[in-house]
Structure 1
Amino acid sequence: MNDSLNPTRSAAPAGLSLAPGLLLTGLLLQGCVTTVTPATPPVVVIAPNGAASAPVSAAASAAAASAAAAASAPGATVVRLDPAAPKPFDEVIKGATHQDGFVPVWRKDEKTWLEIPVERLDQPFLLSINISNSIGERGLYASQMGPQWLASFRKIGSNLIQLVALNSNYVATTPAMRASVEQAFSNSLLGAAAIVSAPHPQRKSVLVDAGFLLADMPGYSTAIETAFRLPYALDRGNSYFEKIRVTDDLTTLNARMHYATARMPAPPLTPSPVPTPPPPQTTPDPRSMFVGYVYNFAKLGEPMAPRKTDPRLGHFFDVVTDLTSDTKANPRLHYVTRWRLEKQDPQAPLSEPKQPIVYWLDKNIPVQYRGAVEAGVLEWNKAFERIGFKNAIVAKQQPDDADWDNMDARHASIRWFTGADVGFAIGPSHSDPRTGEIIDADIGMSDVFGRGARRFLVEDVGRATPFASPAFAAWSKFGGADYCNYAQEAAAEMDFAMDLLEARGEIAPDGPEADAFVQSRIKDVVMHEVGHTLGLKHNFKASTVVSRAQLQDKGFTESKGISGSVMDYNAYNLALAGERQASLNNTTLGPYDYWAIEYAYKSIAPADETAELSRIASRSTDPLLAYSDDAEAGGQRGNDGIDPLVNRFDLGDDPLAYYEKRLQLSRELWQRVQDRTPQPGDEAVRQRRVLLSGFQQLNRAADLVGKYVGGMNTVRDLPGSTNRPAYAPVAPAKQRDALQFLAKGLFNADSFRFKPQFLAGLSPDYNEWDRGGPVSIPAAVLQVQVTALDRLMSPGTASRLLDLPLYVADANKRNVISLAEVYGTLQGSVWSELKTGSDIDRLRRNLQREHLRRVQSLLIRGAGTLPPDALSLVRMEAVELQGQLRSAVNGSRLSVESRAHLQDSLSTLNEALKASMLRS
């Protein structure tokens, strides 16, 4: 040991004065710092708490104050009285590189440290984790936004830093209730790390090892398990930080996370009754996969003034439950999610914003599509100019040589992504949950406009669509009603339109017209997704504000568009042969879009805000501003939708007429493709794909036409604002027209006749192992018809039909369509051959079996949600059908297949009518 610490010496070491007799006490009990003469390197003794000890006398104050500087002097020798005490700050980061900013970061070799300043403790910031890289299948895709939290760093004792998710869902403004709320609702721990350094002598900050972030903080392992049902675990040892970016208001860490499983399980000896998902198909080794995380620590300024929602318009919102008072029946406050946008000159009618909303176009967007993407972004400036903002939105192209990741926070971005089974675009955002202020947004665009769409039309027929992946839904908040699959559906629409126009000879698939066609659709989809990232929800009633006559007026569609909003799922405006062809798709904002932006972003003085927002929202009675969202469109489990005017992918003020037109267009496409002779160099599955493209149109029509039966037209008015009823039954004549469309169109075998030589020529792609066999027209037709059957025989349709008389004045009740009429019309249409005595086509036999299967199930098992009156009517109709089958079973004009079918049907129905109902 250096003899400066030798207690036998009577003199104090140079540079430190102590009262006689206190040297030994100061060294052993206080752990004070001693130094040798300036000619030799200093010796530093660190106290057990990790810092220079407090002086033992007034004379020692100066030496103690310079202790930290001595510890970092060249050649200094450090001696610890407590080996477990944190090292001096400068010793820990010696030789490390420094990135200063919001949360400073230090790196050396494989080590990474976060520097936590004392002023950062207990201060809220926005923490988000995005997914920059993934494996490209079953919902596990790159370029997806992940979870977010309002978070803070919290110091526990002297050695621990916690990363805490703050509970911002419940608030109160009075001291007593604020204390009660804090006691009632817990925060959550996201991670924790030991402090590895003594406080910096000037900045008072400490270091923590950033390795605590190399964990499954976003819960991605749940998505992996959901996708594959295999025990993948995070491999901490092979996970690492790739790159780091630090600015004054943002710290971003890109991590490459390794998930692995030790072995693949052997397949079961016998098939499981529950299908087992296959292991990963896209990775070189299914036991191992890497996922890219982007951790964002984003600085929050002073909270922005929130703006309350109005349900007459559609905005995403953050919900805060205010428990200050118990006088409100509903304490929840709904704040519009929106970017902070303020005028540079508040008095100017048109002013640049202090900070525009910036959209970065990622360098991975194909060059040929960048212009269309930028145009889709900037189109929204038209809406902001109307409320006084010039250049509110700015589009910037990320340089091709940029080394930073666009998944970082504090701006919007647009990225391309690909996958083996993916076909959607998504426009999510992260916001300050206290106010609704949008902090970050990342639009993901899959490659459905190139390779993707045409492949999906072939690969996805008859099985679950890829965007419905349970893995994506389990992990992402966009797995529910707010999830947007517009790109995949829009690409399917685009393919149908291109196939028809090509068959007419109006467009060449590899010509400039086709390229312009694709570019315009990309702009349309980008406009839609940008609208989401500006805070706008879907509007599935907007397409009904344009009349059928206007849709054929090229001048109107070029200046006004084909729909009231780009936030609808808008179909292609395809004319029938011989009709006038106007604009094919939406290329500009609609009146609803201007209205929604005005409500969310108009600059309003605080004192005038309530009255002005109410005035803006009161324009909801304007027919051009019709609005309904995902919930009213239905299509989710337990919600089949009740308003036939609220649909995805219809067009015009009469959706039923639109679906009738689509049936005609599908027939035209089928006829043209049958007349065309395949040419050398054609795509291997071209004819097969075109055939199925027409069926996809009818699949959608089958369900949505059924919405008319028992349907209700809806409006979104606040109590007392108008005299319009919230629910009005669809006109009985329209309901009957819908039934006839299904009977004469989709249930009619003549709608699906194809030339034998055409079907025989539908070859597969012989390079593909899973190539399938001949196309089954009966299966494709049945898929369309079953969709209609399920809608007409559903508990929801039955309940609404039984309730319709309650919504109609006595004078009009005689004309109301009844459930008995619907069941009778349906059964008469499906089994019409029993009355005519004609032979029964195979397509019709398939339809009859499906109808009988549903009747049999209801007679034997019942239906928990089917009204008792409906079940009684099912039995009554079944008895009538039984008599008709007895009369027809031995018809002399019938083929042997038809007689066998009728005998089997009669036997099935007899057994079902005699059976005791199985009750759960």
Structure 2
Amino acid sequence: MKNKTLILWVALATLCSGVHAESDIFKKWRKKKNKNKTEQTDSIKPKDKFDKAIDKATPYEGTIKTWITPKNELLFEIHKDNLDKLYLLANRVSSISESSNFTAGEMIGDPFMFRLSADTANVYMHTVQSFERVRSGDPIESSFKKNFSDPIMKTFKIKASRKDTLLIDMTSFFVSNEKCITPLQQSVRTRATKPASFDSSASMLLGVKGFEKNVEITSRLNYNSESGAYTVNMRRSIVELPKEPMKMRLQDNRVGFFSTFYYYYTSDKDKIPTKEFVHRWRVEPKEEDLEKYFNGELVEPKKQIVFYVDSAFPTKWRKAVKDGIEDWNKAFEAAGFKNVVVAKDYPTDDPTFDPDDIRYNCVRYMTNNVANAAGPSYIDPRSGEILVGEVMWYHNVISLVHNWRFAQTGAVDPRVRKLVFDDDVMSESLRYVASHEIGHTLGLEHNMGASYAFPVDSLRSPSFTQKYGTTPSIMDYARNNYVAQPGDLEKGVRMVPPLIGVYDKYAINWGYRVFKDTPTPESEYKYLNAMIEEKKDDPMYQFGAQQLFLTEDPTDQTEDLGNDHIKASNYGIKNLQYIIANVEEWLKKENTTYNDIHEMYMACVSQYMRYLTHVMPYLGGVEFTDLVQDGSQKYDTRYITKDKQKKAMVWLVDQALNCRKWLLPESIMRINGMESSAFDNFQYSIVGKILSPATMGMIYEGERSGQENIYTLDSYFNDVYQVIFANTINGKSLTQEDMNLQNAAVAALMKYSNLDPSMNKGLGGGAPGGLADPEAAWKDMVAKVTEQSNQFCNVTSCKHEHLNAETSYARHNMTPAKLSAGVGRPVITNTLKKVQNLYKSRLGSGDARTRAFYDYQVTIINMLYKK
């Protein structure tokens, strides 16, 4: 009982101190060891338990001293000063036998913070929580500490001790399937866990490296799975955190930085407030340069941010990657610093260099078939200080940027009408990839609203595009200039994004500017807010947080250009028509298959789908604004006006009816064997969006908002009727596309009228290919486009720590409003009756197939009313 009380006291005392107090437990060890000690007169002392444990073992000095014994056991020496420190443990794949789930170089999970405590029998590893914090000196502090202690995640039996030193065996922790650091956790790409059993016989410790502030441990872990053996070498890094955390910078929704929040307990507030701080590097002026810095001179930082470029990069791309890294120095100049970011090759003359050593920031070349690149960074959880950043450059990202460039600029730029780009052309795109990912490692989120700041026709201006590129922010997903038309390149129009955009310089200034006489994060607020206020009316400096899976704000999208999506898409479609008409001629190669031509054709189809999904969000759409109390009369949620929504509806229906004529010409059908119905689901997809419950719910919510020039539910359905059924209203014979479109609309109206509740299990009048639900067709299209977009830069570390950025907008509730059944079903049923009466009036008109279609639709609607 006495021993348990002592353990609890040690744990609580360590937690409550904030800085871990030195434990008296070492005195107890000394007393225990000296209790029965006798005078020794022999000149040679016999080996004690400690000496025996490390006999013939190899020592490694570091923030924690380690030993490797002749039996390949890993021992840690724990000194009393180790109990005063906080550590971060990171878990990285060093090499792997097959890369379906992971690639060598990837970090698995987020590094976690831990500390050590001890009693006379054991050393304990505690996870350290930073999600709940208390104001220092507050009367409630003692109670807080009793309720938020650090739990013990692992216990290690003391193998031997000597004075102030404890020896523990860490072999099983690092050479086993230890739950908290297992490589069988979810994959960052597939979200799938690889089922396997741990094979201890083939697993072993491979080595240790010790440094002043970190320890690097490498283990081989072997598994047996259904598909065979699975071997992975893991690098575990233990990093000593700074005793004094960096001063945090409080997050602001109006500037896009990754951030972490915590609950702040204080008796000064009538609630438990939250505080949120951004992720950023410790970029500070040297002491001798402070006066220069505050006088506006550019100064070098105390410590540069150095990125090492993998020696595996082909020479032809190396300069582009290094340029993309150092492009960010222009942004740091806005914050008063020069030469902050440095790009270097992997050193060949430094035997201590190791890219898996967590001290090094690396751009890693990962040779597998993944078409991706990503830029995670890892922080001190107490302050948001970025401790390490890295870029994961997967080999097949080359195909991604090639296909984007071909489909987006092939009509304008003859240099990209080939299967292998010239090095200078590819280097332009790869420089963008490198720079975008480095931006993430500096703490910047995606700014998906940036490109909406530019008027569409400005993207055809040589002077404008040479100055600004295609977007104000390289952190946007604005790719290449698909608005530019044939002849624009020769006039000087830029085809690619900027090196660093005006927003990026502004954001780095906001995140990294050092302010004089601001000892607390709160004291910086007036300066930071003034920077935002100065630019608040300029759309180039607005931030738009990322939306995924459910896009409600059309002004804040991925892969788009300009502030008029219909106009921009029309330019893009005109280019696609030219590319598809010429793709066979451009890429022909005698006596080879058509596979490459088909791939480039499908890249064009994917690009067209993006254009459709750029316009879809206008239907039932809203524009979000992150408001502060500044006296403005802006809306937090501004519903898209009626005229814009109707224009989008007309455009989408026109695309649904007419796209096949140019998207699938006979020449393409001839060489790739595609069926003429390949894109019939486009009609179902578009109706699925127009008549989805989400859209109808948002229309009604807009009606009830009281905002001006907004659709009412009745006027929306009247336009749906007029637009979708226009060719029947006008007495024209119907094409197959007309029939698909109207069939999908009738099926949706029947379902949502709820006249036959059983239809909610599926729609009557199924779509081609067995796809019975127009809403499902719409969601399938959006999912495919989203998946294509998220192949680029999609990693768990590019997130808020507390929010799943892959399923939430991070700033707004993305759940659409629900339409009241009492309001919606009568309006839907009334529209269905109008359609029924229209069909009845057209019975016997049109060609034979059109007459049969009308007869069929009248029949199934009549059957519905009879149920």
Normalized against structure 1, the TM-score is what?
Answer: 0.76
1:159 aligns with 2:107: no
Q: CA deviation at 1:409?
A: 2.1
State the distance in 1 between where 2:459 and 2:452 align.
Answer: 11
Q: Distance in 2 between matches of 1:901 and 1:255?
A: 68
Matching residue of 1:482: none
Cα distance in 2 between the residues matched to 1:581 and 1:740? 35
Alignment of 1:227-238 (within 5 A): 231-238=195-202
Which residue pairs with 1:71 in the alignment?
A: 46
Q: Which range moved further: 540-549 or 162-171?
A: 540-549
| Displacement after TM superposition at 1:718 (Å) | 0.8
Rate the CA distance shift 1:664–1:913 in 2: closer, same or farther, 3 A: farther
Q: Is the 8 A contact 1:50 1:198 kept in 2?
A: no
Q: Does 1:556 align with 2:454?
A: no
Structure 2 residues not aligned, in runs of 5+: 1-27, 761-816
Distance 1:180 1:49, change over 3 A: closer
For the residue of structure 1 that corresponds to 2:276, the secondary structure is: strand
**Cα 1:404–1:816, aligned 2, differ >3 Å: closer, same or farther?**
same
Asked if structure 1 preserves the Cα contact closer than 8 Å seen for 2:113 and 2:381, the reply is no
1:870 maps onto 2:779 in alignment: no
Contact 1:244 1:251 in 2 (8 A): yes
2:575 aligned partner: 665
Contact 1:257/1:292 (<8 A) preserved: yes
Helix, strand or coil for the counterpart of 1:131? strand
Shift in CA distance, 723/843, structure 1 to aligned 2, threshold 3 Å: closer
- In structure 2, the residue matched to 1:9 is none
Structure 1 residue 354 corresponds to structure 2 residue 302: yes
Displacement after TM superposition at 1:717 (Å): 2.9
1:857 is aligned to 2:751:
yes
CA distance in 2: counterparts of 1:411 and 1:70, whole angstroms: 45
Q: Deviations over 1:640-699 (max 9, x none)?
A: 333221111111232231122222222222222366684316564123223222221222
Secondary structure, in 3 states, of the residue corresponding to 1:306? Answer: coil
Paired residue for 2:68? Answer: 107
2:217 is matched by which residue type in structure 1?
A: L
Q: Deviations over 1:687-732 (max 9, x none)?
A: 3223222221222222221222333333323112534333333343
- How many angstroms does 1:192 deviate by? 3.1
The answer to whether structure 1 residue 245 and structure 2 residue 203 are counterparts is no
Q: In percent, how many aligned pairs have the same letter?
A: 21
Task: Give the Å deviation of 1:372.
Answer: 1.1
Alignment of structure 1 residues 50-129 onto 2, 5 Å: 53-54=33-34, 63=40, 70-72=45-47, 87-88=49-50, 90-109=51-70, 110-129=72-91
Residue pairs, 1:730-769, within 5 angstroms: 730-748=640-658, 751-752=661-662, 754-762=664-672
Aligned to 1:656: 566
- 1:562–1:586 Cα contact (<8 Å) kept: yes
Partner of 2:144: 181
Instruction: From 138, 150, 161, give the equivalent of 1:198.
Output: 161
Structure 1 position 297, deviation (Å): 0.8
1:343 to 263, 285, 296: 285
* Gap change, CA 1:806 and 1:192, over 3 Å in 2: same
Aligned partner of 1:297 among 232, 238, 245:
238
1:415 to 364, 388, 395: 364
Provide the residue aligned with 1:377 in structure 2: 325
Q: Would the aligned equivalents of 2:280 and 2:386 in 1 still touch at CA under 8 Å?
A: yes
Provide the C-alpha distance between the structure 1 equivalents of 2:101 and 2:737, rounded to a whole number of angstroms: 36
| Alpha-carbon distance, 1:228 to partner | 6.2
Query: Which of 909, 912, 916 is matched with 2:861 structurally?
Result: 909
Residues paired across the two proteins, number:
760
Structure 1 residue 621: deviation in Å? 1.2
Distance 2:173 2:548 in 1: 42
One-letter code aligned to 1:253 = I
Unaligned runs of 5+ in 1: 1-47, 73-77, 79-86, 265-285, 454-489, 763-773, 916-920
Residue type matched to 1:388 in 2? G
C-alpha displacement at 1:801, in angstroms?
1.8
Match of 1:695 in 2: 605
- Conserved? CA contact 2:447–2:473, under 8 Å: yes
1:469-489 superposed Cα distances (whole Å, 9 cap, x missing partner): xxxxxxxxxxxxxxxxxxxxx
| Aligned-pair CA distance for 1:604 | 1.1
CA–CA separation in structure 1 for the residues paired with 2:217 and 2:583: 53
Whole-Å separation in 1 of the counterparts to 2:150 and 2:161: 28
Contact kept, 8 Å, 2:282 with 2:385, in 1: the verdict is yes
8 Å contact kept, 2:75–2:170: yes
Partner of 1:7: none
Name the residue aligned to 2:784: none
Q: Alpha carbons of 1:192 and 1:287: their partners in 2 closer, same or farther (altered >3 Å)?
A: farther
**Matched residues in 2 for 1:831 and 1:318: separation?**
51
Q: 1:117 to 1:395 in 2, by over 3 A?
A: farther
Q: 1:624 to 1:630 in 2, by over 3 A?
A: closer
How has the CA–CA distance of structure 1 residues 425 and 449 changed in structure 2, closer, same or farther, with 3 Å as cutoff? closer
Give 2:677's match in structure 1, choosing from 761, 768, 778: 778
In 2: Cα distance, 1:351 partner to 1:786 partner: 59
Q: d(CA) in 2 for partners of 1:324 and 1:908?
A: 66
In 2, are the aligned partners of 1:508 and 1:514 still within 8 Å (CA)?
no
1:595 equivalenced with 2:559 (yes/no): no
Equivalent residue, structure 1, for 2:249: 307
C-alpha spacing 1:693/1:753, structure 2 compared with 1 (3 Å): closer
Q: How far apart are 1:373 and its partner, in Å?
A: 1.1
* Aligned counterparts of 1:448 and 1:787: Cα–Cα separation in 2: 30
1:779 maps to a residue whose letter is A
Question: Deviation per CA, 1:16-69, whole angstroms, max 9, x where unpaired?
Answer: xxxxxxxxxxxxxxxxxxxxxxxxxxxxxxxx9899942679xx56x49x99x8
Q: Given that residues 127 and 296 in structure 1 are in contact (C-alpha distance below 8 angstroms), is that contact kept between their aligned partners in structure 2?
A: yes
Question: Could you tell me which of 252, 256, 261 is aligned with 1:319?
Answer: 261
1:434/1:155 CA distance change after superposition, 3 Å: closer
Residue 312 of structure 2 aligns to a residue in which SS?
A: coil
Secondary structure of the residue aligned to 2:392 is strand
Indicate how the Cα distance of structure 1 residues 619 and 424 shifts in structure 2: closer, same or farther if over 3 A, else same. Answer: farther
Q: In the aligned structure 2, how far is the partner of 1:496 from the partner of 1:714? A: 31
Alpha-carbon spacing, 1:556–1:351, altered in 2? closer, same or farther (3 Å): same
Give the aligned partner of residue 446 of structure 2.
538
Q: Which amino acid aligns with 1:339?
A: W
Deviation at 1:739, TM superposition (A): 1.6
- 1:432 aligned residue: 380
2-structure distance, mates of 1:667, 1:508 = 14
- Partner amino acid, structure 2, of 1:298: V
- The partner residue of 2:107 within 145, 151, 160 is 145
CA spacing shift, 1:691–1:843, aligned 2, 3 Å: farther
Partner AA of 1:778 in structure 2: S
How many angstroms does 1:437 deviate by? 0.8
Cα distance, 1:542 vs structure 2: 0.9
Listed one character per residue, the Cα deviations across residues 317-361 of structure 1 (whole Å, up to 9, x for unaligned) are 121211123615451110111111111121122221111112122
Query: For residue 584 of structure 1, what is the amino acid of its counterpart?
Result: M
CA contact (8 A) 2:91 2:109 kept: yes
* SS class of match (1:659): helix
Q: Which has the higher contact order (CA 8 A, sep 6+)?
A: 2
The CA distance in 2 between the partners of 1:845 and 1:444, in whole Å, is 48
- Mapping for residues 519-534 of structure 1, pairs under 5 Å: 519-534=427-442
Q: String of CA shifts for 1:284-317, please: whole Å, max 9, x gaps.
A: xx13212343211111112111111111111111
Matches within 5 A, 1:408-807: 408-420=357-369, 422-450=370-398, 452-453=399-400, 492-497=403-408, 499-500=410-411, 505-507=414-416, 509=418, 514-574=422-482, 575-579=484-488, 580=491, 582-605=493-516, 606=518, 609-631=524-546, 634-636=547-549, 640-673=550-583, 678-680=588-590, 684-720=594-630, 722-748=632-658, 751-752=661-662, 754-762=664-672, 774-782=673-681, 784-807=682-705
CA contact (8 A) 1:164 1:187 kept: yes
Q: Secondary structure at the match of 2:290?
A: coil
Structure number with larger C-alpha Rg: 1
Deviation for aligned residue 1:149: 4.8
Name which of structure 1's ranges 648-657 and 532-541 shifts more when overlaid on structure 2.
648-657
- The answer (yes or no) to whether the contact 2:301–2:338 under 8 Å persists in 1 is yes
Cα 1:613–1:739, aligned 2, differ >3 Å: closer, same or farther? same
SS at 1:116 equivalent: strand
The 1:526/1:757 distance shift into structure 2, 3 A limit, reads closer
- Are the aligned partners of 1:702 and 1:787 in contact in 2 as well (CA < 8 Å)? no
Residues 123 and 158 in structure 2, CA contact (< 8 A), matched pair in contact too: yes
Deviations 1:460-519 (A, max 9, x none): xxxxxxxxxxxxxxxxxxxxxxxxxxxxxx554224136445xx74445367x6322221
